Amino acid sequence: MIESVKITAAGLLLACFFSGPAAADPAQAPASLAQRLEQEFKGGYPETRKPTGKVQTVDLVADEAQWGIVPPYQTAVWAYNGTVPGPVLRVKLGDTLKVRLTNRLEQATTMHWHGVRVPNAMDGVPGVTQPPIQPGDSFTYEFTPKDAGTFWFHPHLNSPEQIERGLYGVLIVEDPKEPKYSQDLVWVLDDWLLEKGAEIYPEFVTRHDLAHDGRWGNLSTVNGRFRPSIPVKAGERIRIRVVNAANGRVFAPALAGLAPKVIAVDGMLTAAPFPLQSFYLAPGNRLDLDVVIPKNAQGQVLAVTDVFDGDPAVLAFLDVAPEAAVKTPGFEPPKASHFPAWSEAMKAPLNHEFILDAERGGPYGITWTIDGKAGHDNLAAVLPFGQFSRLRFTNRSGRLHPMHLHGQFFRLLAVDDQPARENFWRDTVLIGPEQSVDIGLVPMDKGLWANHCHILEHAESGMMSTIRVE
Ligand code: C2O
Ligand code: CU
């Protein structure tokens, strides 16, 4: 009878009913919902990455520096190797990165590799994966990134101050199989709260920041500069890697008239490219864009804007060279080799619901909480390695919470129980006021991982927890 039944879930159920339970060959056994979801995931991203054996060694020094955010002013910042952002680190997929971080600040620090699936001990979370790096000390981070894409690095200690003062940088993992764009640009977006003389406002984690969506500045920058001019050529096809490194501000980047396509989110290629339309780039998020500069744009200046507030605010200018247009390469944009359909994922049981809320009190006067608890001592969930999990974030507050899960990629499944149609992985998802958001994932990396709000003031005052994958 089994041979005559077509292999569908319903058919298999019938087959087993009539042929008796345990007797069936496991390959013919009915797949449970969980098994189907895990099967669909296969090939989404790898459990391991074979190292090529090539090791790239980098020295990063965190120290005070002067940086011209708004020339002619010089701003006293904290920086990696003297620049904001720090140096762009580029490695090839399979290569090993060895970064010695030396702390020349007057306070302890650590480095977190945002979005990179690193061995747990390299994740840079003080008190969870390593002790703080004291002033004058060094620590060497060593790992082989498992995924190609746009990632970033930043401190995970006193981050509302350390990141705000300029400590961040970008790590690009290149896949030689992806097409070559004529320029591969990195745009790190940030905003700064500057006082007279372009000095950084020195109060951090204020009651105001905590009662709102963290610290929003009064001046936005691209790569540490206010409204920079970026040289491009008419006809050229460029890849732009946009990173939001702000403490709290959400950007909605726009390139009017350029029809940018989103080819990657949070590092990972999308299942299919899609047009950039009011994409909320929350703190921590990245977007990779495929952009063709129009052939007839020679000599023009095109604006890059932020349209989060509705009114476009200029972030940068694209300065199109006066020369005749160059030839536009016609390759297909890169896309993910596999992405799970997961159309039944909302039927899977919930592994955990995280309740996001605030209460009065605590060292800052307001404490942001996950499940009524504050800080990384809260082990909020244990997820089984290699198995499908569904998680829900329920926001009981009126503020924004971009929730970031270390060491994992997940897919948005639903917002307020309405199915979501995103065709890409994320490591950070923005949860709006009073919203609930469901995500699905198959954890492929074991360890104790931070799960927190990426509005740094919210995280600092308590909106921080851990999950364990085992
Ligand atoms: Cu980008 Cu836990 O951080
Ligand atoms: Cu938050």
452 Cα: distance to centroid of ligand 2 (angstroms): 8
| Pocket residues: Cβ below 6 A from ligand 1 | 112, 114, 154, 156, 284, 404, 406, 450, 452, 454
The rounded Å distance from CA 91 to ligand 1 centre is: 21
Report CA Rg, the chain: 23
Render pLDDT for 416-447 as a digit per residue (tens, 0 to 9). 999 998 999 999 999 999 999 999 999 999 99
| Domains 9-47+339-469 and 55-174 are alike in CATH topology | yes
Alpha-carbon distance of 376 to 128, in angstroms, equals 7
Confidence of residue 13 (pLDDT cuts 50, 70, 90): very low
Instruction: Write down the domain spans for the chain.
Output: 9-47+339-469, 55-174, 183-190+210-320
The closest-lying atom of ligand 1 relative to the alpha carbon of residue 284 is 1
Better pLDDT: 14 or 374: 374
Whether the Cβ atoms of residue 246 and residue 240 lie closer than 8 Å to each other:
no
CATH number given to 9-47+339-469: 2.60.40.420
State residue 31's pLDDT score.
86
The mean predicted confidence, pLDDT, of the chain is 94
Q: Is the pLDDT of residue 264 over 50?
A: yes
Lookup result for tokens 């190797």: 81
Q: Report the topology of domain 183-190+210-320.
A: Immunoglobulin-like (2.60.40)
Could you tell me the distance, in angstroms and rounded to a whole number, from the CA of residue 71 to the centre of ligand 2?
33
How far is the C-alpha of 419 from the C-alpha of 326, rounded, in Å? 43
> Contact at 8 Å (CB) between 150 and 284?
no
User: Which CATH superfamily, name and number, covers 55-174?
Assistant: Cupredoxins -  blue copper proteins (2.60.40.420)
Question: What's the confidence (pLDDT) of residue 158?
Answer: 98
Looking at all shown ligands, the one closest to residue 125's CA atom is: 1
Closest ligand, as measured to the CA of 461 = 2
Cβ atoms of 412 and 439 closer than 8 Å: yes
- Determine the atom of ligand 1 nearest the C-alpha atom of 152: 1
| Distances from the Cα of 174 to the Cα of 90, 267, 304, 333, angstroms | 7, 11, 25, 15
The mean per-residue pLDDT over the stretch 328-339 comes to: 97
Segment 165-186, tens digit of pLDDT:
999 999 999 999 999 999 999 9
